[in-house]
Amino acid sequence: MSGISGKVIAITGASSGIGETTAIHLARKGARLVVGARREDRLTDVVNHITAESGTATGLVVDVTRREDLQRMADTAMDRYGRLDVLVSNAGTMAVSPFDDLRQDDWDAMVATHITGLLNGIGAALPIFRRQRSGHFVNVASTAAYVVKTPQAVYAATKTAVKVLTEGLRQESGPDLRVTLVSPGFTNTEGIGKGADPEIAAAMTRQRDEIAMPPSAVASAISYAVEQPDGVDISEIVVRPTAQA
Ligand SMILES: NC(=O)c1ccc[n+]([C@@H]2O[C@H](COP(=O)([O-])OP(=O)(O)OC[C@H]3O[C@@H](n4cnc5c(N)ncnc54)[C@H](OP(=O)(O)O)[C@@H]3O)[C@@H](O)[C@H]2O)c1
């Protein structure tokens, strides 16, 4: 299935920021969405926004660290729409801090959300994609997967893992599936600095307000990868503000 119209697209981390904007963008182009995240009220807002514009969306409370939640997301796409064409693994947390702060719960959350969460999505969608002989994984990493800047080492390590897993998946995917890595730079979302060391959070928020690009820039990049004809794989996109060093 080429283009975007009619495709069934599941997006994790769709209750705010890049995921929310991407869901709305793709719905406007005729995709049918399954949107997942933990905050039900925010997901309801996203679904209401899409349906108010005559789009199609289903919201689902999903914690990507739980294998069964991703399975439920894939099952919902199959039950409601009969297929799953694209899984956008976007859920993420940017609770960065220096090692000396020993914020080990935040380290664990980054590993669980970015690495286990991505694997849970692959585990749920891959069998469906194989059966359909078509499907597209879009995995959201970060420019931190390319350049490590302190105090983002744990975040950067987990996003580097996303990059590595995506390339391995691409190599194993064969001629029927597509696999895309999208790595945004500074993007203007509520996630910047959220849960981070307060001093770091203030610096990140300041930098965001000075140089960040809108989340629509990332939504366009994802949309570009999705709308390619069958047999064309956009393997990697890095999209960053011009002002980002
Ligand atoms: N903003 C940037 O500058 C930037 C740059 C590079 C990469 N990124 C990446 O882009 C992605 C989206 O981030 P954003 O900037 O749009 O921030 P955001 O607005 O905070 O979005 C993060 C999303 O992930 C969801 N999420 C977090 N943990 C989750 C979990 N365990 N299960 C399910 N959903 C979860 C959040 O929803 P709930 O809290 O409702 O679950 C939220 O919808 C992340 O992977 C981030 O690392 C962002």
Ligand 1 residue neighbourhood (C-beta within 6 Å): 12-19, 37-39, 42, 62-65, 90-94, 113, 140, 142, 184, 186-187, 189-192, 194
Beta bridge partners of 32: 8, 56
pLDDT averaged per 10 residues in sequence order, the chain, 245 residues: 91 98 98 98 98 98 98 98 98 97 98 99 98 98 97 98 98 98 98 92 94 98 97 98 94
Catalytic residues: 155
CA distance 191 to 95: 9
Q: Which helix (H) or strand (E) holds 154?
A: helix 153-173
Q: What is the CA 79 to chain-centroid distance, rounded?
A: 22
- DSSP string for 184-219: E-SB-STTTTTTS-HHHHHHHHHHHHHHPBPHHHHH
* Residue 245: per-residue pLDDT: 87
* Residue 75: per-residue pLDDT: 98
Residue 84 region, left (φ>0) first, then alpha (ψ -120 to 50), else beta?
Answer: beta
Probe target for ligand 1 pocket from 72, 142, 208, with the most ligand atoms within 8 Å of CB: 142
Structural domain 8-237, CATH architecture: 3-Layer(aba) Sandwich (3.40)
Residue 193: how many CB atoms within 10 A of its CB?
Answer: 20
HSE at residue 87, side-chain half, CA atoms within 13 A, is 32
Give residue 173 CA to ligand 1 midpoint distance, Å.
26
CA distance 10 to 35: 6
* Residue 2: per-residue pLDDT: 64
Give residue 108 CA to ligand 1 midpoint distance, Å.
15
Give residue 245 CA to ligand 1 midpoint distance, Å.
22
Closest to 180 (Cα-Cα) out of 191, 165, 158: 165
